[in-house]
Structures are given as C-alpha cells and as structure tokens.
Structure 1
Amino acid sequence: MDQNILISTSYRFQPLPEDQLESLRFHIEQKGLELNIKGLFLLSTEGFNSTWAGLESNNLEFKAFLQKTLSGEPLVFLDSWYNKEPFRILRVKIRKEIVTLGRPDLVPWELELKKEESHLNPEEWQDWLKNKKVHLIDTRNDYEVEIGTFKQALNLNIKDFQEFPEKV
C-alpha cells in the first residue's frame, strides 16, 4: 500500500571520537530498525551524512533521537515527501570520510564559517552574481551539470566528486 513517506537528509562536519563510532553505529541502526526507518547513514571521525525515510511520526522520533545522540548544535534537516518507500533497507556505515575527497589534511569543522558569514538570502545571492567579482564553480558531476547549471559557473567536468580536489 502506498503511503506518504517523509524523506529526510542531514549532515554535519563535527568531530566524532573514533572509539565511539561503532557504538554510535549500533545505536542509530537499532533505533532506525525499531522505527522502520530505511536509508543510508554514514559516520566518520569528521561527522555524519545521511538520507533516510519513514512514516512521519517515526521519522520525527528518529530526528529527536539523532539530535540527542549526536548532540552539539541543533541539527538541520531537509525534508521532502514521496508516496512510496524510496529505500529497501537501513544501512549505517562507518567510513573514513562522509564526503569522499581523499584529503585527510582537510579538517572540515575548522574550515566552516559562521552562518552569517556563509549564508546569503536569494536577493543577496543575485546581487553577488551581478555586482561582485565572484567565481562560481559547479562541483556537480557531468550528468548533473547537463541537467542544469548557472550560466557563469565554471564546469569542472568531473565524473565523481572525488575528482574535485585535483581540479581546484
């Protein structure tokens, strides 16, 4: 039977102690299974990256669990709806990186700017594109760029995001 399924994504670059990753993996997986959550959750010493889906009430409970379990600042969730389960199973994996760059010298949370320094509202964004010397780089793969891109964006012609560091 088709139902309205809430799909959520969240990620954060934050230090997660290596000796706690397996415990985190276990607890996230157990809670997800209990709530019939399906999707992919990546854990690393650099943070987490996740996309999952479930019935709304279960998804909201899972979000509350993640907020408590991963602590720190409030997590940001992006949500969308679908009429079917988009995932077959829940996978919770430990990886070296949550966004594969192959650059262990980069420490993501040391690079992040304060929100007010890194966020532009739509009007500010348009002003920047129009009136400032901005170099816009499209970091998406070839297929995604083919679908659509900003006119003035530099296309790096990458097939996989792992190619990004060598292109810049």
Structure 2
Amino acid sequence: MSILNISAYRFVGLDDLPVLRERVLAQCLALALKGTILLAPEGINLFLAGPRDAVDAFMAWLHQDARFAGLQGKESFSDGVPFKRMRVRLKKEIITLRQPTIRPEGGRAPAVDAATLKRWLDQGRDDEGREIVLLDTRNAYETDVGMFPQAVDYRMGSFTELPAALATDQARYADKTVVSYCTGGIRCEKAVLHMQDIGMQRVYQLEGGILKYFEDVDGAHWRGGCFVFDERGAVDKALSPASHDSFAPLEAPTGSAA
C-alpha cells in the first residue's frame, strides 16, 4: 500500500483564518495532496492522503508555523487515495459541540495513553483501584462498526447531543475513573473538558483516540473495526482498509443508554 493517510488536530488560537486558508490550500495543491482541513478560531483538524514524501513535505511546511510546531498525526496506509479532492474549510469549531464556555485552546484535557488504558482494562481497575468507565463519544453509526464492548454508548446522532446525555446520567460515573474515546482524539478531548466544566472528576481522554490505540497495543479489548470519514469506510486493528460489512454487527453493549 503506497498511499499514506494522516489525521491530526491541535487546539490552538488562530486569528488569521482567511489568509491561513489560502496558504494551506496552495501548499496542499502544490504537493497534489487530497483530503480535508478544517480551520477555526480554536485550531486545526486535518485529514490528508498522498505519497509519503508529499505528506511529509506538507507537515514539515506546517511545522514552520510556531502554532503547529511538533504537530504529530496518526498514520495508516491504503492502495489508493480515499478522497476525491482537496478542501480547506473555515468553521466556527473544528469539532462542533456548541458549548461556548469550553476553550480547549486554553489548555489540554488530562489524558491516558494506550498502554495505560490497556493495563487498566487488563487488571479491571485503574492503578488506584477504582472502577473504569469507558465513554464512547462517537455517533451510533460509528459504534456499530466497532467499540469497546463495555463502553457507555449513548447512540448519538451528533456529538452535540453529548451534553444533554451526560446531564441526566452523571450518577453513573460517580466515584469512578472515566476514559472517553473517539476516532483520533479530538471529540474525546472536548468531551473531557465539558465533563470537567460540569463538575465531573477523574475524567480522561484516550490520547490519540482509537487509531493510536490500534497502533500502540494492537486494539486489545476492542471488538470490530474503526469507522473513518473517507472512502475506506473503516480500518481494522492493523490500520488496514476494511469494509463495514467485514465486521459482525455488534450487540448493544451492557453499558449503553437510550
């Protein structure tokens, strides 16, 4: 597989969006990359595909801007480019939650890495002996492709539904360690900031999301694949393209909520 697919995001204040959009788009087109990049006052969210040298050249160019220095992406490979065109879009939020009091560009949410979460799941508790609750922050059609079977799944149609779901269900998480997860980290980071905002304690995001978890610990404890927002449709635990139909339908998890 000769095409590198990369996804990355960073919450960082941006105040030159129209100019930045034109510069980013021109660089992507010059390198013949395809994909989608979202720019908003709160940061950048990108999904790009192309030959390794072209993707690396773009990331090196992006790193010259101090706001994006050191930005690292999650990588996977495919035989073809899973995007039809190159788009750079300006948005109000790089991931829409509609909670204006949350300012993720002001500081990162606490996180656990893949190895730590695997260890907690192996032993059935966190390192201080507390019960673990996994919270899937993705939409229902994504969780149908794959998820941690024991996770809370609110069967959401949109990420914007999460605050209302949590508002009526906080007792579930009392005195427990909560780890939220999503595809690449962006939704679960914002989710944790919201959970902190409403007074929830011991809440963490899964660093790098499902894709990094697959990369680092081979998807231990995970069932199914991971939905991705491009023409691949989904990837398996080896981060190889996989059809939705290649995964058996998942039963409703025991931790689900209507």
- Measured against the shorter chain, the TM-score band is 0.7 to 0.9
Structure that is richer in helix per residue: 1
1:155 to partner: Cα distance: 1.1
- TM-score, scaled relative to structure 1: 0.86
Pairwise CA distance, 1:111: 4.8
Q: Quote the offset at 1:106 in angstroms.
A: 0.7
- Do residues 128 (structure 1) and 126 (structure 2) align? no
The residue number in structure 2 matching 1:80 is 76
Q: Which of 112, 120, 129 does residue 119 from structure 1 map onto?
A: 112
Counterpart secondary structure, 2:80: coil
* Percent pairwise identity: 32
Separation (CA, whole Å) in 2 of partners of 1:120 and 1:34: 35
Q: More relative contact order in 1 or in 2 (CA 8 Å, sep 6+)?
A: 1
Alignment-derived partner of residue 52 in structure 2: 56
Q: How many angstroms apart in 2 are the aligned matches of 1:12 and 1:93?
A: 15
Do the aligned partners of residues 70 and 50 (structure 1) sit closer, same or farther apart at CA in structure 2, a change above 3 Å counting?
Answer: farther
Residue equivalent to 1:155: 153
Instruction: Measure the CA separation in 1 of the matches of 2:21 and 2:137.
Output: 29
- Give the aligned partner of residue 12 of structure 2: 14
- The equivalent position to 2:42 in structure 1, one of 40, 46, 49, is 46
> Of the candidates 8, 28, 33, which is equivalent to residue 32 of structure 1?
28
Compute the displacement of 1:149 (Å).
2.2
Taking only aligned residues, the RMSD between alpha carbons, in angstroms, comes to 1.8
Specify every segment of 5 or more residues in structure 2 that has no aligned partner in the other structure, as ranges.
167-258
Aligned residues: 160
> For 1:59-70, what aligned pairs fall within 5 Å after superposition?
59-69=55-65
Q: Deviations over 1:22-54 (max 9, x none)?
A: 111000000001110110000001001010111
- Relative to structure 1, the CA distance from residue 91 to residue 67 in structure 2 (aligned partners, 3 Å threshold; closer, same or farther) is same
Shift of residue 70 of structure 1? 5.4
CA distance in 2, matches of 1:138, 1:55: 32
Change (3 A) 1:157 1:128: same
The amino acid of 1:7's aligned partner reads N
Shift of 1:109: 2.8
Counterparts in 2 of 1:71 and 1:112: CA distance versus 1, 3 Å: closer
